[in-house]
Amino acid sequence: MWFILITLAIVAVTYLIRRQYTYWERHGVVCDKAEIPFGSLKDTALGKKDTGFVFHDIYNRFKSRYVGVYLLFKPALLIRDVELARSIEVKDFSSFHDRGTDTLISKNLFSLRGAAWKSLRTKLTPLFSTGKLKAMLPTVNDIGDKLLGHLNSQLEGKSSVSVDMKAMLTTYAVDIIGSVFSDWT
């Protein structure tokens, strides 16, 4: 009796896993080969590649407008076509805003859902109108020029120099944010 139950459980689990990893094929979508249990993220899970590089490789390997991928057991779409991405992000955004990761520390516009997302988006949308973004550009360019000047001064008379990029770019980002938002007050 136990043998039959264990066999049935193994068959059921195998069926469900195979069904999950054929989601894109069943829907006629070109997809990356999934590796059980990692999906498309085997190299990331094994510490061989960063997630961004894995998706970059998938992006370059396929030529269709979108590619099906598997984030562990979860199917996801990698959009390759600029117009399709623009349509999703602008015209059809109300249908897609509840997608994505859900972590405890991500209380930002990209990961919030439902009413919390709508509330934050309502507050932030006026800050990023086309006119305000155009007005930000000179400030961002000035700060970029200062960063470039700083890097050039570090290189003076040297063929190479070691730079703490994380600290430098954090300072750069904070400088931009502070300068842009202080200009509006």
In the predicted model, what is the mean pLDDT of residues 164-169?
Answer: 88
| Global pTM exceeds 0.85 | no
Residues 37 and 7 in one domain: yes
Q: Which domain covers residue 58, as residue numbers?
A: 2-96
Residues 112 and 175 in one domain: no
Residues 64 and 76 in one domain: yes
Neighbours of 31 (CB within 10 A): 24
Residues 121 and 176 in one domain: no
Residue 146 pLDDT: 92
In angstroms, rounded to a whole number, what is the distance separating the alpha carbons of residues 117 and 97? 8
Residue 141 pLDDT: 92
Band of pLDDT at residue 143, cut at 50, 70 and 90: very high
Contacting residues for 179 by C-beta, under 8 A, at least 6 apart: 139, 142, 143
Number of domains in the chain: 3
pLDDT(101) > 60? no
Band of pLDDT at residue 104, cut at 50, 70 and 90: very low
Per-residue pLDDT tens over the stretch 32-56: 888 888 888 888 888 888 888 888 8
Residues 32 and 74 in one domain: yes
Band of pLDDT at residue 97, cut at 50, 70 and 90: low
Residues 86 and 115 in one domain: no
